[in-house]
Amino acid sequence: MKYRAALSVTKRADRIAIVGGGPVGVELAGEISFAFPGKDVTLFHSGPSLLSKTGLKEGVSSALAQQLAARGVTLVLGETVDTDALDAVARDERKAEGAEALPDEVVTGPVMVSTQQGTAWEADVVFRCTGATVNHSCYSVGWLADATGDDGRLRVTGTLQVEGKKDVYAIGDCGAAGELHTMYTAQQQGRYVAEVLAKQAMKPQVEVKPYERHPKFMLVPLGPKGGAGQLPTGQVATGAVVSLGKGKDLYYSDVKKMMRVKR
C-alpha cells in the first residue's frame, strides 16, 4: 500500500527531488525520468560524482550522469541537503490527520530542499535515498555488542567469523567484510560459509582457506532501457548488458526463482 501511495504522489507531482546519488537514488531518477519524461527531476548528491562512495570506475558514474542529463534530470553534485528540515516536514506530515501512508523515505510538498552550499529548490515530492541502515537491534546491545562497529555491522575475521566468536559467522549486510553490500556478495559469502561448515562437519580440524573477496559487480539501470554498471571483469557496461541483466525487471524473476515462489 505504501509503495502504491508513493507512486500516486509521484504521478501527481511536477517537481521531484531525489536526495542521494548512490545506486538507489540514481536508479530512482532513472525510473522516474523513463516513466514520466515530462517531470522536472533534480538529484542532489553530496559527493563529487554519482556513486562516489561505491568505488566503481569513473566511466560508470559519467555514463549515468550523461544519460540522466540527456533526459533532462538536473544533477546537483557536491552539495549536502539539510535533511533535518526534511525530517521535520516528514514528522508533521505523519502526524497530520488523513495523511497518506507513505514510506518513511518520501516527503510530500511543496517543500523547499536546501543545501548547506546555498542551493534551494522547491519540490512537490522528495525521495530520501541516503543509504540503508542495518537492523542491528538483535545483536548490538547484547552478546555481540563488542564486535559491532559504529555503522552497526559486525567486524569479521578473514574467515567471516565474528571477531572474538569462533562459532558465529556474519554474512551479507550485517557483516563488515570490506565488500560492497549487495545481494551478489551476500550470496558469495553465504556459499563460502556453507562450504566451510560442510567441510568442518566431515572433519572438525580441517584447515579453512580465508574468504576471497570478489571483484566489484554492480548494474545500475535507468528504467527498462539505459543505465551503466561494472562487470566482475572490471569492464564498464552500458546498453543491453544492463537492460537485460537488471533493467528489464529489477531481478524480480531471478529472485522469484531463487526463493521458489510460484506466483
Ligand X SMILES: Cc1cc2nc3c(=O)[nH]c(=O)nc-3n(C[C@H](O)[C@H](O)[C@H](O)COP(=O)(O)OP(=O)(O)OC[C@H]3O[C@@H](n4cnc5c(N)ncnc54)[C@H](O)[C@@H]3O)c2cc1C
In the complex, the smallest distance separating the C-beta of residue 246 from ligand X, rounded to whole angstroms, is 6
Q: Which is nearer to ligand X, 23 or 109 (CB)?
A: 23
Residues 15-44 that bind ligand X (CB under 6 A): 24
Which range of residues in 158-166, 170-178, 203-211, 232-240 is near ligand X by CB under 6 A?
170-178
**220 HSE (CA, 13 A, CB side):** 29
Q: Is 116 in the site for ligand X (CB under 6 A)?
A: no
In the complex, the smallest distance separating the C-beta of residue 190 from ligand X, rounded to whole angstroms, is 8
Which range of residues in 94-102, 149-157, 174-182, 253-261 is near ligand X by CB under 6 A?
174-182
Sort strands 106-114 and 74-77 into parallel, antiparallel or unpaired: unpaired
Q: Which is nearer to ligand X, 36 or 184 (CB)?
A: 184
> Residue 238 and residue 117: Cα distance in Å, rounded?
33
Q: Which is nearer to ligand X, 121 or 218 (CB)?
A: 218
Here's the x/- map for ligand X, 232-251, by CB under 6 A: it reads as -------------------x
Among 8, 135, 200, 235, binds ligand X (CB under 6 A): 135
Q: Which is nearer to ligand X, 183 or 206 (CB)?
A: 183
Per-residue DSSP letters for the chain? -HHHHHHHHHHH-SEEEEE--SHHHHHHHHHHHHH-TTSEEEEEESSSSTTTTTT--HHHHHHHHHHHHHTT-EEEES--B-HHHHHHHHHHHHHSTT-----TTEEEEEEEEEBTTS-EEEEEEEEE-S------TTTTTTTTGGGB-TTSPEEB-TTSBBTT-TT-B--GGGEE-SS--SHHHHHHHHHHHHHHHHHHHH-TT---PPPPPPPP-EEEESSSS-EEEE-TTS-EEETHHHIIIIITTTTHHHHHHHTT---
Which range of residues in 71-79, 88-96, 119-127, 172-180 is near ligand X by CB under 6 A?
172-180
Among 172, 193, 199, 241, binds ligand X (CB under 6 A): 172
Q: Is 124 in the site for ligand X (CB under 6 A)?
A: no
Q: Which is nearer to ligand X, 4 or 95 (CB)?
A: 4
Q: Is 88 in the site for ligand X (CB under 6 A)?
A: no
In the complex, the smallest distance separating the C-beta of residue 92 from ligand X, rounded to whole angstroms, is 26
Q: Is 117 in the site for ligand X (CB under 6 A)?
A: no
Q: Which is nearer to ligand X, 130 or 182 (CB)?
A: 182
> Residue 101 and residue 37: Cα distance in Å, rounded?
26
Q: Which is nearer to ligand X, 138 or 141 (CB)?
A: 138
> Residue 190 and residue 74: Cα distance in Å, rounded?
40
Q: Is 53 in the site for ligand X (CB under 6 A)?
A: no
Beta bridge partners of 126: 17, 107
Catalog residues that contact ligand X under the rule CB under 6 A.
Answer: 24, 132, 135, 138, 172-174, 181-184, 186, 251
